[in-house]
Homo-oligomer: A and B are copies of this chain.
Amino acid sequence: MIMSRIEAPRDEDDEATATAGGPADRLLVDRLLGGLPAEAVLTDPDVTASYANDMASFCPAGAPAVVVLPRTVEEVQHVMRTATELRVPVVPQGARTGLSGAANASDGCIVLSLTKMDRILEINPVDRVAVVEPGVVNAALSRAVGEHGLYYPPDPSSWEMCTIGGNIGTASGGLCCVKYGVTAEYVLGLDVVLADGRLMSTGRRTAKGVAGYDLTRLFVGSEGSLGIVVRAVLALRPKPPEQLVLAAEFASAAAACDAVCRIMEGGHVPSLLELMDRTTVKAVNDLARMGLPETTEALLLAAFDTPAPAADLAAVGALCEAAGATQVVPADDAAESELLLQARRLSLTALEAVKGTTMIDDVCVPRSRLGDMLEGIERIAEKYRLTIGVCAHAGDGNTHPTVCFDASDPDESRRARESFDEIMGLGLELGGTITGEHGVGVLKKEWLAREIGPVGLEMQRAVKQVFDPLGILNPGKLF
């Protein structure tokens, strides 16, 4: 289908334009209203501006022309047909809890918020699948399937707010990944509205299926750049027993990383294996008076949701001691486990309190290189005279080095940005990736090219071209 190129007219006198800094396009709005109810089309610039950003630092965002809140697949198709006809960029959004700027608006774009498509369409305990719309909140799905004795594992920190559509767009991880893997492993099939408004189904609702190329996985993590996910078939698991947690304190980060290696080499399958470095431990101690000794240079949290978790914790506790743990504290029950996890949950808030602003990195290395990564980050923090705290999904080798800085200090902001980049370079040197679970978005697009190389980049761009020949789907992200 060849479409005539229509330039969207700009109405420079429009008050909305003056206020929001973006063109409120009457033709665009009129066309959208042809297939959407009035309450689903937001043009008030004060309102549309509130949809400009996700939660990433250092990522520019433009002013949307309009925000649409469709409730049906047909309405999404209408939005995409309109966008294709008028050549208007479309930025799909979930709850905007992302950390890479992938959901940031571009000037004059349609923000396509999927938050009103929030129905759980089916939960089937025999097939162990759920069928959902993209706006379903992760926690809502988790609770709903829990009532059927089922479990939807992916649990990003933002799980109480973030949507399944956003999780699919960014291929989110979480604390559970060391045992249960990432979002990608739970997406069996998708309904996708393509750039031109056509509807495509990918994948399956069966446990297995290999009919043709795996386009489902191509869409997972594509950050809204290939199409709009309007329905997902998700795999579920039986709900595991409640997990029991152990905390181990170490006199050095190296010893804690050694313990991680021993645990994984020993064939254990923890449901959680988290590490907090000295800076994070100190920040949490300062904020919440947790009473951790000042000599604690690293804290490791391990959990098991097996039928006999106490035995697993004992085995892992012994490995921690062999690696030099100064103290090992296994929880006796779920309540104690919850207390031990609080330190981890407070980490980001505590690090934010250090300097007011944080920039969270997401570098994943082979877990055998975790010690080298932490050592390198300490070196980088010294070099740039910055506080950098590290929380890590240690079992995955996935570190979240968090640069603490005063955003009102231009020099410190510059050093923060440079240290952030140097951490990614270190991750690549160690055989890792620039992003374990947060995605590329705007924040890391220059680094994506460095990670995947020129041939990979060329093929990825060519794949983008197949699905989005006009370049209207979340332009300026990823590449």
Which residues of A pack against B, CB within 8 Å? 124-129, 149, 170-171, 173, 177-178, 181-182, 184-185, 194, 198-202, 204-215, 217-218, 220-222, 226, 237-239, 261, 264-265, 267-269, 306-308, 364-368, 393, 395-398, 431-440, 444, 448, 451-453, 455-456, 459-460, 462-467, 478
Q: List 21 A-B contacts (CB under 8 A).
A: A126-B367, A177-B207, A181-B185, A204-B364, A206-B365, A206-B397, A206-B398, A206-B433, A206-B436, A207-B395, A208-B364, A208-B396, A208-B397, A208-B398, A209-B364, A210-B435, A210-B438, A211-B451, A238-B267, A238-B268, A238-B269
State in angstroms the CA–CA spacing of A136 and B455 once bound together. Answer: 26
**Distance in Å: Cβ of A127 to nearest Cβ of chain B:** 5
Closest 9 CB pairs of A and B: A238-B267, A217-B217, A207-B396, A209-B433, A208-B436, A126-B368, A171-B210, A462-B466, A206-B364
State in angstroms the CA–CA spacing of A222 and B444 once bound together. Answer: 29
**Distance in Å: Cβ of A442 to nearest Cβ of chain B:** 14
Assuming the contacts A125-B265, A127-B367, A212-B460, asked whether A396 and B217 have C-beta atoms less than 8 A apart, the reply is: no
- A434 close to B211 (CB less than 8 A): yes
Assuming the contacts A208-B177, A218-B214, A239-B267, asked whether A456 and B127 have C-beta atoms less than 8 A apart, the reply is: no
Closest to A467 in B: B459
For residue A467, which residues in chain B have a CB less than 8 angstroms away from its CB? 459
**Distance in Å: Cβ of A9 to nearest Cβ of chain B:** 32
**Distance in Å: Cβ of A93 to nearest Cβ of chain B:** 18
For residue A444, which residues in chain B have a CB less than 8 angstroms away from its CB? 211
State in angstroms the CA–CA spacing of A171 and B433 once bound together. Answer: 25
- A396 close to B218 (CB less than 8 A): no
Closest to A369 in B: B127
State in angstroms the CA–CA spacing of A217 and B451 once bound together. Answer: 18
For residue A215, which residues in chain B have a CB less than 8 angstroms away from its CB? 456, 459-460, 463
- A124 close to B221 (CB less than 8 A): no
- B202 close to A456 (CB less than 8 A): yes
Closest to A370 in B: B126
* Residue in B366, B395, B448 whose beta carbon sits within 8 Å of that of A212 in the complex: B448
State in angstroms the CA–CA spacing of A208 and B439 once bound together. Answer: 11
